[in-house]
Amino acid sequence: MKIDGSTQIVGVFGSPIAHTASPAMHNAALAAVKLNWCYLAFHVEPQNLRSALTGIRDLNCRGVNLTVPHKILALDIVDEVDADARKLGAVNTVVVKEGKLIGFNTDGYGFARGIKEDFDMTLKGKRVLILGAGGAGRAIAIQCTLDGATKVIVANRTPAKIAPIANEIAGTPTKFEAIGLDAESIQRVVTEVDLLVNATSVGLQPADSLGLPAGVFSPGLAVYDTIYRPAETQLLRQATDAGAKVSNGLSMLLHQGAKAFEIWTGRKAPLAVMRRALRTAVYGAQL
């Protein structure tokens, strides 16, 4: 990578951010298409998000991705919000265009592509349990509805955070249920669903646990954890032990990242290059 006076900066804002594999993926892609760009990770606390986003505009950066905990906060900061991002209720990609911050959401797209790739599953007719009502959880819940899921159940510790999702789904053919993010509530409904998605940050640290008892999962269930580092969370270990189909969030990261790359650059994302770079970054080998 050659850094000079014409290098264009893109990156990702998050807190925490040290775990991210996005720089490996995007820098490999940028090199593959021979763009003099550089993708960096920035630790940004929520109270500093507004000034950080204003900063990328003032510094003439091309744009950024947003991860936990910024996706919903950004809705009220950017100058314009793409129709899909408005519908999904969160922003995970920002582009600077003609001096304006424009927000997009590629999470829903990335999630749908990810479960198709990993489970050969579409969301149409499925019953889905989503743990977490933050930016990713909200986008996934609405994407499930848009793609024809029969039922969406959202679990969260704070009921008020589920209300915007319930309002968005109301009036659609998809049935909706809100529950608490606790072992008893999850255990009560997990036998009713085809797909369980962890969209919380529980699992980023080795000691993290949702407190679910052994035997809560069954072989007929698909379990998707949006966390990709560590590659196997405690949730995925439990599901694997029960014979359930499992996958981590690497495929979602890949496809949402490819979409963001195309928004920023106007070029087709080199998907195979990005996939190899991600797998090397997370697994330590080119699989």
Residue showing tokens 């922003």? 91
166, 202: one domain: yes
Strands of the sheet containing 175-180, edge to edge, are 175-180, 151-156, 127-131, 195-198, 222-225, 245-248
What CATH number is associated with residue 66? Answer: 3.40.50.10860
Higher-confidence position of 287 and 149: 149
Letter for the amino acid at 32?
A: A
On whether residue 1 sits in a domain, the answer given is no
Give bridge partners of residue 64 from the DSSP assignment: 11, 94
Q: In angstroms, rounded to a whole number, what is the distance separating the alpha carbons of residues 132 and 157?
A: 8
Q: Give 133's contacts (C-beta < 8 A, 6+ positions apart).
A: 141, 154, 156, 158, 161, 162, 165
The DSSP line for 216-264 is ---TT-EEEES--SSSS-HHHHHHHHTT-EEEETHHHHHHHHHHHHHHH
Residues 127, 224 within the same domain: yes
Closest CA to 52 of 17, 24, 4: 17
The pLDDT mean for the chain works out to 95
Q: How far is CA 265 from the centre of its chain?
A: 20
Question: CA 190 to CA 214: how far, in whole Å?
Answer: 13
Domain presence at residue 2: no
- The verdict on residue 165 lying in a domain is yes
Share of the chain above pLDDT 70, in %: 99
* pTM recorded for the entire structure: 0.93
pLDDT higher than threshold 60 for residue 77: yes
Residue 174 in this model has a pLDDT that exceeds 80: yes
3 occurs within a structural domain: no
Cα distance between residue 105 and residue 94, in whole Å: 9
pLDDT, position 287 = 45
- 3 burial (CB, 10 Å; 0-12 / 13-18 / 19+) is exposed
User: Can 71 be counted among the known catalytic residues?
Assistant: yes
Domain span holding position 219: 108-248
**Which of 189, 183, 91, 193 has its CA nearest to residue 138?**
91
Is the model's pLDDT at 235 over the cut of 90? yes
Q: Do 137 and 213 share a domain, yes or no?
A: yes
pLDDT above 50 for 247: yes
In the chain, the number of structural domains is 2
Asked if residues 142 and 88 have their Cβ atoms less than 8 Å apart, the reply is yes
Same-domain check for residues 119 and 189: yes
Residues 156 and 213 in one domain: yes
Residue that wins the pLDDT comparison between 213 and 37: 37
Q: What pairs with residue 94 in β-bridges?
A: 64, 103
Domain match, 234 and 164 both: yes
The catalytic residue among 2, 34, 71, 151 is 71
Q: State the Cα torsion 67-36-281-106 to the nearest 10°.
A: 30
Same domain, 100 and 115: no
In terms of domains, do 120 and 163 share one? yes
What is the spatial distance between Cα 195 and Cα 283, in angstroms, rounded to a whole number?
25
